[in-house]
Structure 1
């Protein structure tokens, strides 16, 4: 796996993103009934917001996942927790899995996304707020270092607010690479196509 990132082009990437966000596994993304025009509108709004930004993740040049980064202070999260300097929010949607999914792929994607976020100047903590019912992503989040802080009510969902500091992520990466515990291995199977 060789991951790179580029900015989402709301118009050019809309057909691809529409295919991803309308898949049944992406139900927690909240766009199952979206049209291509609706995807264009959503990502035009995100890219022009000044506080929310979407990136397409590529694996050896092939689109493989969508990540969004945002400032929690400019989001509905500001009403439910005390935002700290250095906080950055993140959403993640992995492309539909191929016929023979690669074990541990989603964990590797998440690891690459966290590494990118922690490379940004001033970032100290990554904040996520997946749907409280999305048990698969909660397991993945904890494997990568996120600490649950409790369920919060947001305008569109009940969400499990979780935080990952740089130190949490480093410790989780080290634990994932320890060969004596196969259940915490980056190569252990996690459903490719998870949404956060």
Structure 2
């Protein structure tokens, strides 16, 4: 488990990230991915069994991993890490050595905490860059998801172009380790990268 101290703007204990268990976490994930606020996750009509199967398949895939993010010891967000040379972006861009793809989903809540989602993406990026082999993070959010574009920009992502995926029109964006370190000063990251 990776422990990441809480970034500024969010008060409580700390963030931690642990591997997702597709069986024991399926019920929780089902409530998150089918919530109206999670429309861009594209699982609105998924049944519990669909979510369990999807994450069992992801867990069995050598090119993908999923994690549950904890805040104050409680599940608060989902992280998916993938190899874009083999998943999600195959044929849509030329992958470089050290590229890693990422998706994240903050658990929907009726009582949002100001700055929380930005703190989550900061923690996720710090987590990804803990691996010295990772040189650049690649994302492909829906072009209509302007909220996540703003969050991505805040941690150093630079959009390259729109790409057509089977399920959506996406904004292909990249963030190098250096761009992240420039966008989010070390003190704000709360971690040593």
Would you say 1:141 and 2:152 are equivalent positions?
yes
The aligned residue for residue 49 of structure 1 is: 61
Q: After TM superposition, list the pairs within 5 Å mapping 1:85-100 onto structure 2.
A: 85-99=97-111
Structure having greater relative contact order (Cα 8 Å, sep ≥ 6): 1
What are the ranges of 5 or more consecutive residues in structure 2 without an aligned counterpart? Answer: 1-5, 7-13
Conserved? CA contact 1:76–1:155, under 8 Å: no
Q: CA RMSD in A?
A: 1.6
Quote how far apart the aligned CAs of 1:7 are: 1.0
Quote how far apart the aligned CAs of 1:74 are: 0.6
Given the two structures, how large is their TM-score scaled by the length of structure 2?
Answer: 0.88
Q: After TM superposition, list the pairs within 5 Å mapping 1:1-150 onto structure 2.
A: 1=6, 2-99=14-111, 101-150=112-161
Show CA shifts across 1:88-136 (max 9, x none): 000000011242x211100100000000101113100000000111111
Quote how far apart the aligned CAs of 1:176 are: 9.8
Show structure 1 runs of 4+ deviating over 2 A.
174-177
Would you say 1:151 and 2:151 are equivalent positions?
no
Given the two structures, how large is their TM-score scaled by the length of structure 1?
Answer: 0.87
Q: Secondary structure at the match of 1:156?
A: coil
State the alpha-carbon separation in 1 of the partners of residues 93 and 15 from structure 2: 32
State the alpha-carbon separation in 2 of the partners of residues 144 and 96 from structure 1: 21
How many positions carry a matched residue from both structures?
177
State the alpha-carbon separation in 1 of the partners of residues 177 and 115 from structure 2: 21
Quote how far apart the aligned CAs of 1:25 are: 1.1
Conserved? CA contact 1:68–1:92, under 8 Å: yes
State the alpha-carbon separation in 2 of the partners of residues 164 and 124 from structure 1: 9
Quote how far apart the aligned CAs of 1:5 are: 1.0
What are the ranges of 5 or more consecutive residues in structure 1 without an aligned counterpart? Answer: 178-185, 187-196
State the alpha-carbon separation in 2 of the partners of residues 83 and 48 from structure 1: 23
Higher share of residues assigned helix: 1
